[in-house]
Structure 1
Amino acid sequence: MYQYDQYDHLIAKERIAQYRDQVRRRLSNELTEEEFLPLRLQNGLYLQRHAYMLRIAVPYGLLSTKQMRMFAYIARNYDRGYGHFTTRQNIQFNWIDLEQTPDILQHLASVEMHANQTSGNCIRNITSDEFAGVAVDEIIDPRPYAEILRQWSTFHPEFAYLPRKFKIAINGSVEDRAAIAVHDIGLTVVHNASGEVGFRVMVGGGMGRTPILGSVIREFLPWQHMMTYIEAIMRVYNQYGRRDNKYKARIKILVKAIGAEEFARQVEQEWLDLKDSPSTLTAEELNRVADYFTPHAYETLPAVDAAFEAHKAENKAFTNWLKRNVKPHKVPGYAIVVLSLKKVGVAPGDATAEQIDFVADLADRYSFGQLRVTHEQNLVLADIRQSDLFAVWQEAKAQGLATPNIGLITDIICCPGGDFCSLANAKSIPIAQAIAERFDDLDYQHDIGEMELNISGCINACGHHHVGNIGVLGVDKDGSEWYQVSIGGAQGNESSVGKIIGPSFSATQMPEVVERIVKVYLRDRIEGERFIDTTRRLGITPFKDAVYATSIKSDALRGEDAYA
């Protein structure tokens, strides 16, 4: 994985010194909170309901065990013993004291990490496929390109004060596991007719108040022009993106207003002055960065391990875990393991300091000392020998990290919501826990099959509810917390934005609402059909009819009205 050079170390050192002085000035009231706001946001620090929250960047979701252990150290010494992994492949700590934040950043720098550009109107953390480098369907490892973009975008002076935040994702495989369609820029590695490597470029995707799937503005961009073309996109957006209304400031609004074709024309025009500039990527530079991502020293292993096969035959629980949490690896004899952070009763994405340390230990012993964070709020050990899978499962199970629910209804994506976030209209975590408890039967979950359930506490959509097969959005209704439900959303190669089924529901009604939706699916599906396939075939009407049946009024506690 990438290691800091002298420039990275210098940038981190200077930024921490600058920020330490800014904190000193705030604490002494030389700076007002209003003056301090943009300064702290540039360093990933938010003021939430109860305390400051610090968001730490995990570039393209890749971590060393030394970095992972630093998270555990921060959780123990500066927070309340846990951290929250996010849909941006980052980690957040929700109980931070302002005066301690410079020291935290100093600790992070000691393991080559930072919180730069995890907030503010700038280019945020570059995200990618959590299986990058090991996926069986990979075309090109996207991590060197993601790292190049990280270096290019960090403190880029032209793009430090954009109209609004900006998110870029890169996918290097046949299957899109980076949700590129809902990013401001989504890049997909492709080959042209001559076999040359390049990118399909999507622009203008996003969620929030105006959920939109990105538009393809270039079918093939030679890899050498990745930075110059993105710079052209950024310049058009920086010049014409709205600054008078933050709710209309994302690039998706600009693309929608002028049309993807006109936006592409403007980008191409801007690109004429950039395409052969010094920012053109050379093979030498690409190789320099790619050398940090060379394959591990994999052993030559048998395709089938006898002891592994025996455990499969003898242990149903182990077999269930293999089906859901273990993915194929491109090297024979190895496998990818997804550790679930979605045990029933736990806030989705949360991990204790003890669990964080434990995962680091697992990675050191079994996975070349590296791990990944997924945008679905789970953790990945990417290089497990097949012969070690049973031991990894046993150890992970003892730590509450082996729930066999990856891709199932209890693998809920959920933002921290109103329990922490000052922007939220409603709580998210209790709703996720109540729904998970309703479906806490693995046989029932496996019968339902693939299901993505996403929950956001407000319209900012940090829980990606728009692309959940079932999406739940917290809304405020006369000071009370209610929940709007949509179905038919999806991420990946067949991305779609869900459709709202009708008026909102109270918190106590939500488990019953979800179960009614699921029952319609189980009743009406055809053999082999996933939930998303059924919703696309039937539309929302049968689900809506079942959910808004009058009997739901009597099902709700205290007679709360589902039609209100």
Structure 2
Amino acid sequence: MTQVTERIPRKAAAGGTAGRRSAKPNGQWKIDGTEPLNANEEMKAADNGLNVRERIENVYAHGGFASIEPEDLHGRFRWWGLYTQRKQGIPGGKTATLEPHELEDEYFMLRVRIDGGALTTEQLEVIGGISTEFARDTADVTDRQNIQLHWIDVRDVPEIWRRLESVGLSTTEACGDVPRVILGSPVAGIAAEEIIDPTPVIAEIARRYVGNPEFSNLPRKYKTAITGHPSQDVVHEINDFGLVGVVHPEHGPGYDLWVGGGLSAAPRLGERLGVFVGEDAAPDVWEGVTSIFRDYGFRRLRNRARLKFLLADWGPEKFRQVLEDEYLGYALPDCDAAPAPTGPGDHSGVHRQKDGRFYVGLTPLVGRVSGTALSGLARLLEEHGSQRLRTTPHQKVIALDLEEDRVEPFIAAARELGFEARPGLVSRSAIACTGIEYCKLAIVDTKDTAAAAARELDRRLADRSGRVPRKLSLNVNGCPNSCARIQTADIGLKGQLITDDDGEQVAGFQVHLGGTLATSEDDEPTLGRTVRGLKVAADRLPDYVDGLLQRYAETAEEGESFAAWAHRVDEEELV
């Protein structure tokens, strides 16, 4: 494999028009030069992460885990979708006190990149087979439209790549300081109400830029979301780069551009630049925004090396000016915001396609599946006349192209595999990160805790009369990094150890309430509210949420969403 090198020399002179060198450099290449200012930047400058594939195939797959160089293991492996997983049995209290090598096992999480969530049944069957043969039958459908496998031995990685690539899949840049998977509307080209089909734009961006050394050394990870569906179904507000379908009065269907969203410990919703992006221009605009991040993004401090910090520093007006003047060379048309969505974008349940057939949104509870289940679903789809499916940003799977008389038999059979087309209120929207089971950063269990809570709450709500929220998202995260988007959930839970009434440390959560993204005309995108000292033990989670919903039923105004209620009421109502 050809080795790749950096685009800009390490000691290039500062250039550009977007700023001057500060007294204390931020590591902005066009202002401060490209000399690395921390160990992570030194690692990337020493050897591009894309180059590690050759060593995995020719050295590490033969020598095993012990042969892996530390900088590759804890750095460059991510460029090919590989993270070491947590050693089994290490409690959450040790997460912050042990060194990475003490926390990690000699196995990997492997992330299969699925741009736009688009899969064929053949591809799904291959992923299922890899899971059962190499990953102890593990698989998670993520909220980034990927599928993650666990228990991967580095000796098996070349064969796994061979199988994935034989059906057009890869793990290229599924992790690392690179353009991550491109979120796309899971009903792209399918939905009758679609404004514009984003499939060509997603495909062209992936073709030009994924695995391209021009963009394989960004300050940190870079997330893209593109949709042409009126439900705005790709959580664009919390991505670095977002395109939302809109109809321009002069230019017709195209996209409204958003930049600079992100969560983690410093959450920030993205902002509109107020420009219209046509389909033909979209890949170039993506390149321009991404290049701004590469050239002007903060690299000195890792916790500020996301596009949201640059946007906060510049503001959207300056960001637009730099994009147009330095990177595009022309002005983009002004654009009004897309209309507010008229309903949720998880696509759960049964929906008619524009060709008259049907698609069915399936919920594998909190995204936890298995290779056996994935292979079974692939065969089930083919038995019912379909060869296509999609993953979603809501840990769901959508079966496409079903004839009307096949829908109900398919739903019944899918339920037997663990895929539910008509889940309860809480199960429908509950998502959870990987948690302490496999993640080295996690403090508490997430998947089992969230699944058990969702089942119990749905059971209780089924027997209850009175006002119930029209939607209720329960997002459970095992650490502060917000992979499960806790700040944008009706009820978001951040894992931590808490002290119970007996003075013992137990698994628990800090509570965020009232977060929401684009889901309806009634709700503005809002980050969740935290109540000082409000924490709940994991085993008390159903009781806490149940009590909260009872207070909502008693005091919410007619038509008031849970998110709006949670922001309106006094803190005493929330504890």
Q: Give the TM interval when normalised to the shorter protein.
A: 0.7 to 0.9
Distance between the aligned counterparts of 2:493 and 2:442, measured in 1? Answer: 13
Distance between the aligned counterparts of 1:495 and 1:473, measured in 2? Answer: 20
Matched, 1:511 2:567: no
The equivalent position to 1:337 in structure 2, one of 344, 347, 360, is 360
CA displacement at 1:131 relative to structure 2: 1.5
SS at match of 1:74: helix
Matched, 1:420 2:441: no
User: Does the CA-based 8 Å contact 1:44-1:56 persist in structure 2?
Assistant: yes
Matched, 1:523 2:554: yes
Structure 1 residues 155-196: Cα deviation after superposition (integer angstroms, max 9, x where no partner): 222211100000000010221011111100010122221243
* Correspondence for 1:102: 158
CA displacement at 1:55 relative to structure 2: 0.6
SS at match of 2:74: helix
CA displacement at 1:210 relative to structure 2: 1.2
State the AA in 2 paired with 1:545: E
User: Does the CA-based 8 Å contact 1:209-1:460 persist in structure 2?
Assistant: yes
* Correspondence for 2:411: 393
* Correspondence for 1:320: none
User: Does the CA-based 8 Å contact 1:408-1:445 persist in structure 2?
Assistant: no
State the AA in 1 paired with 2:211: F
1:150-161 mapped onto 2 (5 Å cutoff): 150-161=206-217
* Correspondence for 1:231: 287
CA displacement at 1:373 relative to structure 2: 0.7
The equivalent position to 2:58 in structure 1, one of 21, 27, 52, is 21
Distance between the aligned counterparts of 1:229 and 1:529, measured in 2? Answer: 39
More deviation, 148-157/226-235:
226-235
Structure 1: gaps of 5 or more residues: 1-12, 277-322, 343-347, 549-564
Q: Give the length in aligned residue pairs.
A: 480
User: Does the CA-based 8 Å contact 1:212-1:252 persist in structure 2?
Assistant: yes
CA RMSD of aligned residues (A): 2.6
SS at match of 1:223: coil
Distance between the aligned counterparts of 2:574 and 2:246, measured in 1? Answer: 43
CA displacement at 1:352 relative to structure 2: 2.2
* Correspondence for 1:443: 462
Alpha carbons of structure 1 residues 69 and 374: separation in structure 2 relative to 1, 3 Å: same
* Correspondence for 2:484: 463
State the AA in 2 paired with 1:208: S
CA displacement at 1:24 relative to structure 2: 4.2
Distance between the aligned counterparts of 1:99 and 1:257, measured in 2? Answer: 45
Distance between the aligned counterparts of 2:550 and 2:206, measured in 1? Answer: 45
CA displacement at 1:366 relative to structure 2: 2.9
Structure 1 residues 110-160: Cα deviation after superposition (integer angstroms, max 9, x where no partner): 111110011000001111111211223201111111111111221222211
* Correspondence for 1:213: 269
1:523-562 mapped onto 2 (5 Å cutoff): 523-536=554-567, 539-541=568-570, 544-548=571-575
State the AA in 1 paired with 2:527: V
Distance between the aligned counterparts of 1:83 and 1:330, measured in 2? Answer: 32
1:223-302 mapped onto 2 (5 Å cutoff): 223-273=279-329
User: Does the CA-based 8 Å contact 1:22-1:36 persist in structure 2?
Assistant: no
User: Does the CA-based 8 Å contact 2:113-2:174 persist in structure 1?
Assistant: yes
CA displacement at 1:547 relative to structure 2: 4.3
Structure 2: gaps of 5 or more residues: 1-49, 88-106, 333-346, 500-504
SS at match of 1:202: strand
Structure 1 residues 21-79: Cα deviation after superposition (integer angstroms, max 9, x where no partner): 25247638665223443331111010011331111111110101111001111111101
* Correspondence for 2:532: 502
The equivalent position to 2:510 in structure 1, one of 484, 497, 509, is 484
User: Does the CA-based 8 Å contact 1:119-1:165 persist in structure 2?
Assistant: yes
Distance between the aligned counterparts of 2:83 and 2:454, measured in 1? Answer: 29
Distance between the aligned counterparts of 1:138 and 1:407, measured in 2? Answer: 26
Matched, 1:70 2:93: no
1:19-418 mapped onto 2 (5 Å cutoff): 19-24=56-61, 27=64, 31-50=68-87, 51-273=107-329, 325-332=349-356, 334-342=357-365, 348-366=366-384, 368-402=386-420, 404-405=422-423, 408-409=426-427, 411-418=429-436
Query: Quick one: percent identity of the two aligned structures?
Result: 26
Distance between the aligned counterparts of 2:539 and 2:426, measured in 1? Answer: 22
When normalised by structure 1's length, the TM-score is: 0.79
State the AA in 1 paired with 2:525: S
Distance between the aligned counterparts of 1:445 and 1:52, measured in 2? Answer: 44
State the AA in 1 paired with 2:508: W
CA displacement at 1:245 relative to structure 2: 1.5
CA displacement at 1:90 relative to structure 2: 0.4
User: Does the CA-based 8 Å contact 2:83-2:110 persist in structure 1?
Assistant: yes
User: Does the CA-based 8 Å contact 1:499-1:540 persist in structure 2?
Assistant: no
Alpha carbons of structure 1 residues 28 and 379: separation in structure 2 relative to 1, 3 Å: closer
CA displacement at 1:369 relative to structure 2: 0.3
CA displacement at 1:208 relative to structure 2: 0.7
Alpha carbons of structure 1 residues 505 and 382: separation in structure 2 relative to 1, 3 Å: same
Structure 1 residues 438-490: Cα deviation after superposition (integer angstroms, max 9, x where no partner): 31426258944311111111122111111111111113569754311111111
User: Does the CA-based 8 Å contact 1:79-1:94 persist in structure 2?
Assistant: yes
Distance between the aligned counterparts of 1:367 and 1:129, measured in 2? Answer: 23
Alpha carbons of structure 1 residues 15 and 31: separation in structure 2 relative to 1, 3 Å: closer
CA displacement at 1:403 relative to structure 2: 5.7
Alpha carbons of structure 1 residues 476 and 73: separation in structure 2 relative to 1, 3 Å: same
State the AA in 2 paired with 1:193: P
Alpha carbons of structure 1 residues 245 and 531: separation in structure 2 relative to 1, 3 Å: same
State the AA in 2 paired with 1:264: R
CA displacement at 1:273 relative to structure 2: 4.0
* Correspondence for 1:475: 496
State the AA in 2 paired with 1:443: A
Distance between the aligned counterparts of 2:117 and 2:378, measured in 1? Answer: 15
Alpha carbons of structure 1 residues 426 and 445: separation in structure 2 relative to 1, 3 Å: farther
Distance between the aligned counterparts of 1:48 and 1:14, measured in 2? Answer: 22
User: Does the CA-based 8 Å contact 1:56-1:92 persist in structure 2?
Assistant: yes
CA displacement at 1:17 relative to structure 2: 5.1
User: Does the CA-based 8 Å contact 2:427-2:458 persist in structure 1?
Assistant: no
CA displacement at 1:91 relative to structure 2: 0.5
